[in-house]
């Protein structure tokens, strides 16, 4: 453990870099939660498993089959997106009169199945993956910066740009927004809300997969990581105000930095507990999130 | 009203009494001991989930608190195992109340996530607080329980003791369900507004049933410690919470007997699967125990999709003894 | 008006409720008389249900006070207000669907019985006499609303009309001194509505004060002793059904002139 007095500028910068790196992942997971939540009101407990699937598939394609990274990236994202669609078609869509409890247990069941399948296919090992462009750290004002971190941040920026474009400038995106605001009204104006639900699972799974792909070179993926990634991502989603994806991005990065800083300044053993503790605190004190207004508290309904 | 339940407890007691004679093998008796421990936790969880309608993905934490209180107080401070178990109960109770006060204000998905967060934090602490808990290497040398000078040192004795506790827990649960307090809990499940308009203090009642279910889980954890004699954080991760919910849901959340059915079936499932794998091996099909998790998930999903009231309800419907005159109007209970 | 003691059984004094800037109840001062049927009417969104929710503790008032027989109710939790003898039903019927009809009413005896969790678990024999009393008292109320032969059905399987009756039986099992009925005739056919009217009058005859929110004007004018009209959260008229029917302000509010 480090004495507080010995914390230098470069240490703090290092925490921020580490924090932003994992924070981007939490942000992406949180965006995935929000998409499904906005379309259905469901919190998908299998969200973390999409990330694991993305990471492990990418490992197999690049390391075992030696496919080039761009091709593997696309193939993995597509495959996990298909898994998301399958989840919606076979487990959510057939449920005729769902209760909240039943939906929670169904998504938990899916998460157990994915985890079990991942364990069956990939075993219990952690998998290395080569960095996208070299693993030699760069020097950044005295702190070290992996090129992969730049890939992660860059990917997040691209996804956010695509997200903004999709929801503001495409017909499908606008229809999804309409469904999120008022599903009945959207249905009455001719929007196929069932298709929007399927699309939300597809996008959510795809974003989850991308998060898994870009983080695996740094954290080494294994089959059991889904639960913790999922719950931390949920923490970011709640902190940013559930359903609010721009809030989730800021909250995700904030959560990552807080976690990295407390790991560095207090103790790295308790690192995983920090994000969870923040999640509980937000749920107890301000469940509408730091950006949500307390008047718009429809979220407590669920 | 609860005559059927008392008959059910009697039948279960008979089965328990003859079981060690039917099962000659200590290994399988051991499996049945773990089954009893899961039943104990699931009975409490069912009161919370099926009757009061409050989900918890945090009960692995209370099992862990019971297990670690027993393990640490006996090995490090030399406490009597019964005193340690009692201390575990008190710690679980206090923790449940402190966690329950803010948590049980939340509903549905939020409640599920908050309790899951709580269980994860407890697991992280078990691994990280090496000085106290021994970290990943755990605690060994835990003493056995002794009952009136009789050491519970054979599988048969432990089997009888644990199942006796399950029967007692069932008796408590059945009585509670058919009481004023139990009706209040079911009312909370039905409509919180209506329940409180009739004078049910929903805040306090939710916390009390959460605490009671935590006590059941804690006792189950203590018994685990004194049976296995060595513990590490492994079995107490959030996956255990998920498994407990799975047991209750597979059996059927609306009946305490559903919880017992689910706990028994899923606790025995790994044994069934290993039989299966031996059978498959003869046909040169390889089955790895790694697939067990996958099968758990598949069972849970199929039940939720096709038999949402659970297996016990399905079984009950096929036997006229348990079904009332008009089955189509029957839901829950 | 307030000097007559029977007029001031329930007193709302400058009661106000705002939802994020929207004023739902606007400094409403109103008295309800003991032993009478008082109706609260007004156009949709006038704030009637909000007033009910304020009195029964489901919403905290922004300002103002509510007293029952001189005792302050504002800021108390619903279960505390229930224990002070206030019963209510809900606009969107809220029976406990998975419980039987009898068990629903038995929950209404919650405050009239006292066995706690420990005794319930450990000594079920000790509960028997109390359980018997709860069951008997509940059956009396099921009989009064005509649901005695449905006692063992699950409440969720009853038709809406019966569910509304069940809600009243359940609230009456509480032995309240005042009963708030939120649109008891909504969704009922003419025959059921007439039965509901008879039941309400019967309850009044037992000396219980009844406050009613209802859109069925025929029912309201038929059974009420006193009618208060609210619009935009403010009182616009108060009086006997005859007075109200002749009041030009009321006609304006309803026809939106």
Q: Report the pLDDT averaged over residues B61-83.
A: 96
For the purposes of burial, counting CB atoms within 10 Å of the CB of B144, is it exposed (0-12), middle (13-18) or buried (19 or more)?
A: middle
Element (H, E) at A71: helix A69-87
Give the C-alpha separation, A108 to A97, whole Å: 18
For residue C80, give both structure tokens: 């505390």
Q: How many CA atoms lie within 13 A of B244 on its CB side?
A: 37
- In chain B, which residue's Cα lies nearest the Cα of C169? B198
For residue A268, give both structure tokens: 């790295």
Q: What is the DSSP string of B33-92?
A: HHHHHHHHHHHHHHIIIIIS----S-HHHHHHHHHHHHHHHHHHH---HHHHHHHHHHHH
Distance from CA of B117 to the nearest CA of C (A): 29
Q: What is the pLDDT of residue A293?
A: 52
Using the Cβ of C184 and the Cβ atoms of chain B, whether some distance falls under 8 Å is answered with no
Give the C-alpha separation, A293 to A286, whole Å: 10
Using the Cβ of B315 and the Cβ atoms of chain C, whether some distance falls under 8 Å is answered with no
Flag the least confident range among A182-191, C60-69, C211-220: A182-191
CA-CA-CA-CA torsion sign (A169, A236, A8, A214)? negative
Using the Cβ of A116 and the Cβ atoms of chain B, whether some distance falls under 8 Å is answered with yes
Substitution target in A87, A92, A101, A227 with the highest count of B β-carbons within 10 Å is: A101
From chain B residues 63-102, the ones with a CB under 8 A of any chain A CB are: 102
Residues in chain A closer than 8 A to B249 (CB atoms): 105
Report pLDDT digits (tens) over C22-37: 889 999 999 999 999 9
Interchain proximity A273–B120, CB inside 8 Å: yes
Give the C-alpha separation, C108 to C105, whole Å: 5
Report pLDDT digits (tens) over B210-266: 999 999 999 999 999 999 999 999 999 988 998 999 899 999 888 999 999 999 999
From chain A residues 42-71, the ones with a CB under 8 A of any chain B CB are: 42-43, 45
Give the C-alpha separation, B104 to B202, whole Å: 10
Give the C-alpha separation, A21 to A148, whole Å: 9
Q: Report the pLDDT averaged over residues B310-320.
A: 75
Whether the predicted pLDDT of B313 surpasses 90:
no
Residue B275 vs residue B34, higher pLDDT: B34
Interchain proximity C78–B197, CB inside 8 Å: yes
**Angle subtended at Cα A186 by Cα A180 and Cα A187, rounded to the nearest 5 degrees:** 120
By Cβ distance, the residue of C77, C79, C94 closest to B191 is C94
Residues in chain A closer than 8 A to B107 (CB atoms): 100, 300-302
Report pLDDT digits (tens) over B100-115: 999 999 988 889 999 9
Report pLDDT digits (tens) over C72-116: 998 899 999 999 999 999 999 999 999 999 999 999 998 888 788
By Cβ distance, the residue of B55, B290, B301 closest to A109 is B301
Distance from CA of B158 to the nearest CA of C (A): 24
What domains can you pick out in chain C, each with its CATH number? 5-255 (3.40.50.300)
Give the C-alpha separation, A290 to A237, whole Å: 10
Give the C-alpha separation, C117 to C127, whole Å: 11
Beta bridge partners of C231: C234
Give the C-alpha separation, A43 to A210, whole Å: 20
* Separation in Å, CA C249 to CA A78, C1, C233, C256: 66, 21, 15, 10
From chain A residues 7-46, the ones with a CB under 8 A of any chain B CB are: 42-43, 45
Give the C-alpha separation, B121 to B123, whole Å: 5
Distance from CA of B279 to the nearest CA of A (A): 19
Give the C-alpha separation, A85 to A73, whole Å: 18
Distance from CA of A225 to the nearest CA of B (A): 12
ipTM of the complex: 0.91
Give the C-alpha separation, A255 to A257, whole Å: 6
What is the arrangement of strands in the sheet containing C10-19, beginning at the earlier edge strand?
A: C22-32, C10-19, C63-68, C71-72
Residues in chain C closer than 8 A to B208 (CB atoms): 117
Whether the predicted pLDDT of B288 surpasses 80:
no
Interchain proximity C171–B197, CB inside 8 Å: yes
By Cβ distance, the residue of B49, B55, B305 closest to A94 is B305
Which residue in the block uniquely carries the two structure tokens 């009898």?
C102
Among candidate residues B207, B227, B238, B225, the one with its CA nearest the CA of residue B88: B225
Residues in chain A closer than 8 A to B239 (CB atoms): 227
Whether the predicted pLDDT of B323 surpasses 50:
no
Indicate the SS3 state at residue C88. strand
From chain B residues 90-119, the ones with a CB under 8 A of any chain C CB are: none
Give the C-alpha separation, B332 to C217, whole Å: 39
Interchain proximity A113–B301, CB inside 8 Å: yes
Give the C-alpha separation, B259 to B329, whole Å: 22
Buried b (16+ CB within 10 A) or exposed e, C138-177: bbebbebbebeebbebbbebbeebbbbbbbbbbbbbbbbb
Q: Among the residues of chain B, which ranges form H helices?
A: 3-22, 26-46, 59-77, 81-103, 108-128, 130-133, 155-177, 180-190, 192-197, 202-228, 238-251, 256-282, 292-306, 311-318
**Helices A147-169 and A245-265 meet at what angle, rounded to 10?**
160
Q: What is the pLDDT of residue B152?
A: 85
Q: What is the pLDDT of residue B47?
A: 95
Using the Cβ of A121 and the Cβ atoms of chain B, whether some distance falls under 8 Å is answered with no
Using the Cβ of B127 and the Cβ atoms of chain A, whether some distance falls under 8 Å is answered with yes
Using the Cβ of C133 and the Cβ atoms of chain B, whether some distance falls under 8 Å is answered with no
Determine contact, residues C238/C228, Cβ cutoff 8 Å: yes
Q: Among the residues of A88-146, which ranges form H helices?
A: 100-122
The full set of domain ranges for chain B reads: 3-235
Beta bridge partners of C209: C178
Distance from CA of C131 to the nearest CA of B (A): 8
Determine contact, residues A269/A1, Cβ cutoff 8 Å: no
Distance from CA of A101 to the nearest CA of B (A): 7
For residue B332, give both structure tokens: 């829950």
Give the C-alpha separation, A234 to A275, whole Å: 10
Mean pLDDT of chain B: 89
For residue C109, give both structure tokens: 């005896």
Q: From first to last of the 302 residues of chain A, give the pLDDT tens digit.
A: 445 557 788 888 999 999 999 999 999 999 999 999 988 888 999 999 999 999 999 999 999 999 999 999 999 999 999 999 999 999 999 988 788 888 888 999 999 999 999 998 998 999 988 888 888 888 888 888 899 999 999 999 999 999 999 988 898 888 888 888 887 888 888 888 888 899 999 999 999 999 999 999 998 899 989 988 999 999 999 999 888 888 999 999 999 999 998 888 887 888 888 888 888 998 888 877 777 654 344 433 33
Phi and psi (nearest 5°) for B149? 80, 0
């Amino acid at each position: 453990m480090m004495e507080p007095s010995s914390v230098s500028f470069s240490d703090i910068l290092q925490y921020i870099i580490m924090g932003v790196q994992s924070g981007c992942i939490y942000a992406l997971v949180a965006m995935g939660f929000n998409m499904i939540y906005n379309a259905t009101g469901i919190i998908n407990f299998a969200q973390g498993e999409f990330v694991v699937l993305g990471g492990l598939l990418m490992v197999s394609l690049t390391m075992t089959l030696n496919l080039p990274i761009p091709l593997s990236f696309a193939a993995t994202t597509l495959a996990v997106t298909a898994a998301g669609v399958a989840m919606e078609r076979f487990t959510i869509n057939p449920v005729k009169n769902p209760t909240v409890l039943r939906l929670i247990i169904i998504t938990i069941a899916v998460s157990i199945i994915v985890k079990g399948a991942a364990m069956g296919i990939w075993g219990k090992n952690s998998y290395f993956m080569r960095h996208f462009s070299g693993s030699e750290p760069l020097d950044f004002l005295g702190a070290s910066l992996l090129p992969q971190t730049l890939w992660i941040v860059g990917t997040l920026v691209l996804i956010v740009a695509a997200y903004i474009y999709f929801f503001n400038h495409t017909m499908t995106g606008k229809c999804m927004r309409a469904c999120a605001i008022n599903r009945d009204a959207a249905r009455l104006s001719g929007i196929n809300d069932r298709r929007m639900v399927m699309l939300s699972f597809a996008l959510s799974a795809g974003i989850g997969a991308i998060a898994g792909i870009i983080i695996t070179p740094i954290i080494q993926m294994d089959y059991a990581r889904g639960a913790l990634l999922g719950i931390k991502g949920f923490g970011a989603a709640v902190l940013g105000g559930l359903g609010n994806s721009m809030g989730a991005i800021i909250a995700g990065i904030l959560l990552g930095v807080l976690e990295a800083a407390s790991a560095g300044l207090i103790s790295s053993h308790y690192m995983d507990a920090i994000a969870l503790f923040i999640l509980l605190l937000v749920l107890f004190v301000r469940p509408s999130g730091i950006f949500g207004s307390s008047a718009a508290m429809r979220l407590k309904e669920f | 009203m609860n005559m059927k339940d008392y008959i059910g407890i009697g039948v279960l007691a008979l089965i328990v009494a003859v079981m060690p004679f039917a099962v000659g093998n200590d290994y399988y008796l051991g499996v049945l001991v773990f089954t009893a421990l899961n039943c104990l936790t699931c009975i409490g969880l069912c009161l919370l989930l099926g009757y009061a309608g409050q989900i918890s993905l945090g009960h692995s934490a209370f099992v862990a608190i019971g297990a670690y209180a027993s393990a640490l107080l006996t090995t490090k401070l030399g406490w009597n195992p019964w005193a340690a178990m009692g201390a575990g109960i008190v710690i679980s109770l206090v923790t449940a109340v402190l966690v329950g006060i803010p948590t049980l204000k939340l509903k549905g998905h939020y409640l599920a996530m908050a309790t899951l967060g709580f269980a994860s934090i407890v697991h992280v602490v078990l691994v990280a607080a090496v000085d106290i808990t021994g970290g990943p290497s755990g605690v060994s040398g835990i003493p056995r329980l002794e009952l009136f000078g009789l050491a519970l040192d054979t599988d048969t004795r432990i089997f009888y003791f644990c199942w006796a506790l399950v029967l007692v827990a069932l008796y408590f649960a059945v009585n509670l369900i058919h009481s004023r307090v139990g009706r209040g809990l079911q009312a909370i499940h039905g409509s919180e507004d209506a329940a409180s308009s009739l004078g049910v203090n929903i805040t306090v009642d939710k916390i009390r049933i959460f605490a009671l279910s935590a006590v059941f889980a804690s006792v189950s954890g203590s018994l685990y410690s004194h049976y296995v004699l060595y513990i590490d954080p492994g079995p107490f991760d959030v996956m255990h919470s998920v498994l407990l919910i799975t047991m209750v849901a597979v059996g059927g959340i609306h009946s305490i007997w559903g919880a017992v059915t689910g706990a028994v079936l899923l606790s025995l499932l790994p044994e069934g699967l290993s039989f299966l794998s031996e059978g498959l091996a003869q046909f040169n099909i390889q089955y790895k125990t790694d697939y067990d998790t996958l099968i758990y998930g598949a069972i849970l999903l199929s039940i939720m999709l096709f038999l949402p009231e659970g297996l016990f309800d399905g079984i009950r419907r096929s036997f006229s003894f348990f079904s009332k005159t008009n089955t189509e109007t029957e839901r829950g209970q | 008006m307030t000097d007559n003691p029977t007029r001031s059984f329930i007193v709302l004094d400058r009661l106000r409720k705002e939802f994020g800037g929207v004023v739902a109840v606007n400094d409403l001062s109103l008295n309800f008389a003991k032993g009478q049927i008082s109706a609260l009417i007004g156009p949709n969104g006038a704030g009637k249900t909000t007033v009910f929710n304020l009195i029964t503790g489901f919403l905290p008032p922004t300002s103002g006070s509510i007293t029952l027989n001189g005792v302050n109710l504002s800021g108390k939790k619903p279960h505390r207000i229930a224990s002070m003898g206030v019963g209510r039903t809900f606009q969107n019927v809220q029976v406990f669907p998975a419980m039987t009809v009898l068990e629903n009413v038995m929950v209404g005896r919650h405050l009239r019985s006292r066995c706690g969790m420990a005794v319930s678990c450990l000594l079920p024999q000790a509960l028997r006499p109390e359980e018997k009393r709860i069951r008997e008292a509940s059956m009396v109320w099921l009989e009064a609303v005509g649901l005695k032969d449905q006692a063992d059905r699950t409440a969720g399987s009853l038709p809406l009309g019966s569910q509304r009756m069940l809600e009243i039986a359940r609230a009456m099992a509480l032995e309240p001194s005042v009963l708030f009925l939120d649109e008891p005739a909504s969704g009922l056919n003419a025959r059921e509505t007439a039965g509901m009217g008879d039941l309400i009058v019967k309850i009044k005859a037992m000396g219980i004060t009844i406050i009613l929110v209802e859109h069925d004007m025929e029912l309201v004018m038929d059974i009420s002793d006193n009618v208060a009209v609210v619009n935009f959260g403010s009182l616009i008229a108060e009086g006997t059904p005859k007075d109200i029917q002749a009041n030009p302000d009321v006609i304006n509010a309803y026809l939106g002139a």
